[in-house]
A and B are shown apart, each in its own frame.
Chain A
Amino acid sequence: MPTPKLKAIIRRIDDLPTLPRTVFRISEMINNPRSSARDLAQVITDDQVLTARLLRLVNSSFYGFPQRITTVTAAIVLLGFESIRNLLLTTSVFDVFAGRRHDRQKARENLWDHSLGCAVAARVIGKHIRHEKTEELFVCALLHDIGKIVAMVYAPEDYDRATRKAEQENMLLRDAEADLLEYTHTETGRMLAERWNLPAMVADVIYYHHTPEQAGAFAKEAAIVHLADIFCRALQLGSGGDNRIPSLNSAAWDRIAIRKADIATIMTEIESAYSDISTFTDAATAAPSV
């Protein structure tokens, strides 16, 4: 049952930017086995901003293709459907993080870096354990803290109080929220995911990333994002508004079944993949006068 405060935020959440319609149309097309690269290119080229970004990204050092790619169809053929969706979703989510207001710019940037770090980490972990849906893991992790953006935009005083308490008492932001407020970022995040009509897996992983053992059908995915969050905090890739490292949920660790001896290798791989991808998102979003 939502508390009055949470209800007030729900009312205002209608003002939060929606993901561009194009991203939804693209997701639908990718899920349809009969879509061709040409169909997909048609949808993307209808949106000039996405087209410009896509071409900028595929021509960035992250992909390192030797020749300049000038058409969207060529980009799709070279990168594949799933990567295109990921890439477009990543840059669209960045818009939500970037916002229009200049206050809390640093906090937003840090949160973006943390989210991207977790997305990369979840994919690396997923690949290591041969999870079938590494692209979905990327999306779940990218959005796991999106509720913090909701708070930053619609309840900035609450967000400031909670981050201050988390810092002063060296506690997790979620625990500070639970102490001070009537809601936590996992609840607001799930609400936003539902409003965006994102898959149930994404909404549940957002809600349960601190309590993965309760995530039911998506317990494994929630466990992976929980571990990715710990890896990212340890590696100091961005910041989610608190400095503490959460303790590892032992049921989650057992469920993922990684060997302790492989931790250093996995973390090194995360560091390297993050370094590549953060450069490419900088290229996608930076002002022309960098």
Chain B
Amino acid sequence: MRRILLKDARIDMVLAADVHNGQDMLLLKKGVALTEKSLRMLKSWGVEALRVQEADGASADRPDPGKNQDKIEKAMEARFGDTLADPVMAEICRAAAAIVHERNHLS
């Protein structure tokens, strides 16, 4: 078990302890895997830190953020397909990739 700041929390990390808000209301139970939605929810409740289970072996390695951004951009461009010929769509694609990257890192 390790204690991490919410900004370092990632999707699929598994909670090692229940998470409560400031009024002691239970927000998420121990054993639950974090999702994009639950990270947003914790952020909106002002949760700053949580306890998560240790990841095993190689999966504990952090992905390189630069590489990750490349991956997001590539996937985004694939979804836009031939609409990217339109400069407005190209701008929407670029903006969306930046926002999704930021969301995944919650920093």
A interface residues with partner B (beta carbon < 8 Å): 61-62, 170, 230-231, 233-236, 243-248, 250, 253, 260, 263-264, 267-268, 271, 275-276, 278-279, 282, 290
Contacts and interface: CB of A to CB of B under 8 A. Distances in A.
Interface stretch (B9-17, B53-61, B63-71, B79-87): B79-87
19 contacts: A62-B44, A170-B81, A233-B79, A234-B79, A234-B92, A235-B96, A236-B100, A243-B79, A247-B82, A248-B89, A248-B92, A260-B87, A263-B95, A264-B94, A268-B95, A275-B44, A279-B40, A290-B27, A290-B28
Given A247-B86, A253-B88, A290 B26 contact: yes
B102 to A, nearest CB: 8
A247 B44 contact: no
Contacts, number: 76
A160 B98 CA distance: 33
The prevalent SS among residues of B at the interface is helix
Contacts of A235: 96, 99-100
Please indicate which of the listed interface residues A62, A231, A233, A235 has the most CB atoms of chain B within 10 Å of its own CB.
A235
Nearest to B36: A236
A264 B95 contact: yes
B88 A260 contact: yes
B39 to A, nearest CB: 10
The 7 closest A-B pairs by CB, nearest first: A234-B96, A264-B95, A279-B44, A247-B83, A267-B95, A275-B40, A263-B91
Secondary structure of the A contact surface, majority rule: helix
Nearest to A261: B91
Contact of A264 (B43, B46, B98): B98
Contacts of A233: 79
B1 interface: no
Nearest to B45: A61
B83 A279 contact: no
A70 to B, nearest CB: 16
Max chain B Cβ within 10 angstroms of own Cβ: one of A253, A268, A276, A279: A279
A268 B103 CA distance: 11
Interface string B17-49: 000000000111000000001001101111000
Contact of A260 (B41, B91, B98): B91
Given A235-B100, A264-B94, A279-B41, 15 more contacts: A234-B79, A235-B96, A235-B99, A236-B96, A244-B79, A245-B89, A247-B86, A248-B88, A248-B89, A250-B86, A253-B88, A267-B96, A275-B44, A290-B27, A290-B28
A99 B92 CA distance: 34
B80 A245 contact: yes
A272 to B, nearest CB: 10
B6 interface: no
A264 B95 CA distance: 5
B92 A231 contact: yes
A281 B28 CA distance: 16
B93 interface: yes
B76 interface: yes
Contacts of B88: 248, 253, 260, 263
B93 A234 contact: yes
B87 A234 contact: no
Contacts of B43: 275
Given A234-B93, A279-B40, A290-B26, A248 B99 contact: no
